Every structure is written in structure tokens, then in C-alpha cells.
């Protein structure tokens, strides 16, 4: 494990202020985008279609230049895990089923394409939308904010926790702990040196946050006002149309066109 891993993840998922189009898009439209991506990954199983979708999604990223960089950082951070899972799955399917290695590999490539599409959708949602916007989006469809905030805060803490893990990693290495050496089992055991302090520090942070929220009236009432209200504008309608058309086209194409890959 390298220090860059924590850096990559924490930077990729960090919200940044900007005037990009993606920041301006209504949170509901972005939530719809995530839902559609999840639906697609369950329905579509053809690699050619998934790859086309992946290209379309990547084009969407270019609307906010930093997102492309963030995506690369995210990939860099997740690559080892994806690789481990893929290799593990291929081995398991070769040992326990009678499919060929080519087929097993294809299955894995398809799931990577799905993961990447989903990663892009979530990345766009998390790094261009604020918790406040998401909470309001859910409130508009009748879900009480007290249920939504905890989830959003959990997501918001991911980059912060990774950043803290980086500092913990530094502190442990300063005590001579080497993460790159030794057998796999030893390396895994050494992770305790990072995970335990991370959990302790996270609990302390969560305790502070709960107190601070309580004292600022969180949960005072089931209702909540919003100081400005999110409204669908032309850009949102455009975004929704493009996204929906794209995903519907993908589903239709899956069933009527012949498979290339």
C-alpha cells in the first residue's frame, strides 16, 4: 500500500466549489442519473453497449475539467482493489465452474465496465453536489431530512477520513512500520496500525458532530425550511432529456441490435 492511495481517494471524492455546468444542474437530475446508471448495469449485459455508455459518461465528465483529473485519481486509487477482485473471481470461476478462461474473463470485463459507469455517476453526484442540495431533493419527494442527513454526512466524511488515514499512515511509518515488505498475511495484519486509529478518530469526530448538530436544532421538528429552493431550469430539462434518452437507447439497443462484442 502506498501513501498515494489515500491521497488519490480523498482528492477524488472531495467537493470543490466551481461554476461548472455540472454544479448548476439540479440535484434531482443528478440523482436520476445515478438511478438510471444502476438500472442499466442490472439490465444491460452486453460489452459493446456498456463501452459506448462508458464513453458517453466520460464525455459528461469533461463538462467540468477537474472531474476528469478526479476520475483518474479515483481509478488510480481503486485499481489495485479492482485487480484483486477480478483475479479472484476468475480463479474461483475456473476452479468451481466449467466455463472457459475466455468466458470468465469476459464476465469480469463486463463488470469492470459497469463499475466504471457507476463510478462516474457517483463521482459526478458527490463532487458537484452539496449535502444541502441532496437533502432538499429528497425532502421534495417527501422524505424527512433527519433520515437523509446521516447518509449524506457519511458520504461527505469519506474524503476527510481518507485524508486522516494519510496522516496516520505517515505517523506509523515514522515509527518504522513498513507496509510494502513481508508476506501478504503480515501486511494485512499491519493494517491494524492504520485502521484502529482511524476508527478511534472517526468516533471522536462523530461524537463532536452529533453534539454540535443537536445544539443547532437538528431534529427540532420533522419539517424544515430551505433558504433557497431548488427549481428545474432549462439546463436541467436538457440534462434529464439527454441522460434519459441515452440510457433508454442503450436498453433498446441491447435487445434489437446484434452483439458486436
Task: Give the separation between CA 230 and CA 252, rounded to whole angstroms.
Answer: 32
Other C-beta atoms lying within 10 Å of the C-beta of residue 27: 22
- Measured from the CB atom, is 29 or 159 closer to other proteins? 159
The residue among 2 and 233 lying less far from other proteins, judged by its C-beta, is: 2
In the complex, least distance from residue 58 CB atom to other proteins, rounded to whole angstroms: 20
**Closest residue by Cα to residue 73 from 132, 161, 14:** 14
For the chain, what is the largest distance between any 2 Cα atoms, rounded to a whole number of angstroms?
A: 61
Do the beta carbons of residue 138 and residue 148 sit within 8 Å?
yes
Smallest distance, other proteins to C-beta of residue 41, A: 28
Taken as a whole, the chain contains a residue count of 261
- Binding other proteins (rule: CB under 8 A), the pick from 79, 87, 91, 209 is 209
- Residues 1-40 as x/- pattern, contact with other proteins by CB under 8 A: --xx--xx--x--xxxx-----------------------
Cell numbers given for 130: 452539496
Cα–Cα dist 116/124, whole Å? 12
Of the candidates 207, 161, 171, 231, the residue with the CA atom closest to the CA atom of residue 14: 161
Closer residue to other proteins (CB): 96 or 183 = 183
Measure the CA–CA gap between 25 and 3, rounded to whole angstroms. 34
221 binds other proteins (CB under 8 A): yes
62 binds other proteins (CB under 8 A): no
Our finding on whether 143 is near other proteins (CB under 8 A) is: no
In whole angstroms, the minimum distance from the beta carbon of 104 to other proteins comes to: 36
Q: Is 200 in the site for other proteins (CB under 8 A)?
A: yes
Which of 64, 149, 162, 239 is close enough to bind other proteins by CB under 8 A?
149
Does position 216 interact with other proteins (CB under 8 A)? The reply is: yes
Sites for other proteins among residues 152-191 (CB under 8 A): 153, 156, 159-160, 164, 167-168, 170-178
d(Cα 256, Cα 36) in Å, to the nearest integer? 20
Q: How distant is the alpha carbon of residue 171 from its chain centre? A: 28
**Residue 175 vs 183, nearer CB to other proteins:** 175
Query: Which of these segments, 39-47, 52-60, 90-98, 201-209, binds other proteins (CB under 8 A)?
Result: 201-209
CA gap 78, 207 in Å, rounded: 30
Please tell me the distance from the alpha carbon of residue 41 to that of residue 139, in angstroms, as a whole number.
27
Binding site for other proteins (CB under 8 A): 3-4, 7-8, 11, 14-17, 73, 130-132, 149, 153, 156, 159-160, 164, 167-168, 170-178, 192-193, 195-197, 200-201, 204-205, 208-221, 223-228
Amino acid at each position: 500500500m502506498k501513501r498515494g492511495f489515500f491521497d488519490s481517494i480523498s482528492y477524488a471524492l472531495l467537493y470543490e466549489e466551481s461554476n461548472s455546468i455540472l454544479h448548476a444542474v439540479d440535484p434531482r437530475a443528478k440523482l436520476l442519473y445515478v438511478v438510471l446508471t444502476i438500472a442499466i448495469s442490472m439490465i444491460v449485459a452486453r460489452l459493446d453497449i456498456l463501452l459506448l455508455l462508458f464513453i458517453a459518461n466520460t464525455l459528461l465528465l469533461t463538462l467540468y475539467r477537474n472531474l476528469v483529473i478526479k476520475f483518474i485519481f479515483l481509478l488510480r486509487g481503486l485499481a489495485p482493489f479492482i485487480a484483486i477482485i477480478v483475479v479472484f473471481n476468475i480463479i474461483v470461476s475456473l476452479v468451481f465452474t466449467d466455463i472457459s478462461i475466455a468466458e470468465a474473463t469476459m464476465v469480469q470485463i463486463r463488470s469492470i465496465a459497469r463499475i466504471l459507469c457507476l463510478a462516474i455517476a457517483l463521482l459526478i453526484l458527490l463532487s458537484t453536489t452539496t449535502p444541502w442540495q441532496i437533502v432538499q431533493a429528497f425532502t421534495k419527494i417527501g422524505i424527512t431530512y433527519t433520515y437523509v442527513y446521516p447518509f449524506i454526512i457519511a458520504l461527505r466524511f469519506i474524503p476527510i477520513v481518507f485524508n486522516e488515514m494519510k496522516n496516520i499512515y505517515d505517523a506509523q511509518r515514522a515509527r518504522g512500520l513498513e507496509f510494502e515488505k513481508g508476506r501478504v498475511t503480515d501486511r494485512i495484519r499491519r493494517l491494524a496500525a492504520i485502521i484502529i486509529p482511524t476508527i478511534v478518530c472517526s468516533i471522536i469526530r462523530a461524537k463532536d458532530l452529533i453534539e454540535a448538530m443537536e445544539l443547532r436544532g437538528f431534529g427540532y421538528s420533522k419539517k424544515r425550511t430551505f433558504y433557497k429552493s431548488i427549481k428545474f431550469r432549462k439546463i436541467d430539462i436538457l440534462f434529464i432529456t439527454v441522460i434519459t434518452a441515452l440510457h433508454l437507447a442503450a436498453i433498446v439497443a441491447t435487445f434489437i441490435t446484434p452483439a458486436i462484442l
